[in-house]
Amino acid sequence: LCDSHTKMFEEPEDPTNRSFFSEIISSISDVKFSNSGRYMISRDYLSVKVWDLHMETKPIETYTVHEYLRSKLCSLYENDCIFDKFECGWNGTDSAIMTGSYNNFFRMFDRNTRKEATLEASKEVAKPKTMLKPRKVFSGGKRKKDEISVDCLDFNKKILHTAWHPQENIIAVAATNNLYLFQENN
């Protein structure tokens, strides 16, 4: 299987951004090939990167998952959350990516429109016909009505595992001991 050619995909690190946490937050927690076989995604602590298998020098797309946590890395290190391993996944057409976060939030990124959404898996939204409302995390400045403060996030509630149905627009997210299935309304 691995006795011939190898490729190494690596993004050069900016030395001006180097910190005590650099190696920890850049460690890859998950990797998935796209359904087409042309791309792969990798998930590190703060981002999801899309790699073209024909170009190993740098990712072709980078999506920030929870950049607002960068200022909290010290406390996340102290409570071991910085070592959490979040998975990522593709939709069936490779046009969208999903990954988990804290506070039972999960993030979705549309590769075509570059739109992104933060959604919450909770018992309140698990009722039939309930629409998921996008959530926003507030990290500074003036907080808007529907935003949640980064200081109010529950780091014990986390979505580490996600899956996307290969043909249908159905997703599964695992939040601690609960499994949620969400389906697009037709």
What pLDDT score does 139 carry? Answer: 77
> Which amino acid is present at 7?
K
- Nearby residues of 89 by Cβ (< 8 Å), 6 or more positions away: 32, 41, 97, 98, 99, 162, 163, 164
The rounded mean pLDDT for the chain is: 89
User: Could you give the CA distance from residue 156 to residue 170 in angstroms, rounded to a whole number?
Assistant: 25
Cβ-contact 51, 59 below 8 angstroms: yes
DSSP letter for 130, please. Answer: P
pLDDT at 116 over 60: yes
pLDDT value at residue 3:
66
pLDDT band at 49 (very low <50, low <70, confident <90, very high): very high
Tell me the mean pLDDT in the region 96-121.
95
> What are the distances in angstroms from CA 8 to CA 12, 25, 31, 140?
12, 19, 13, 38
**pLDDT, average across residues 113-137:** 82
pLDDT score of 5 more than 70: no
Segment 116-139 mean pLDDT? 80
What's the mean pLDDT in 163-169?
92
> Is-above-0.75 flag for pTM?
yes
The C-alpha angle 61, 64, 66, rounded to 5 degrees, equals: 165
Say yes or no to pLDDT of 179 above 90.
yes
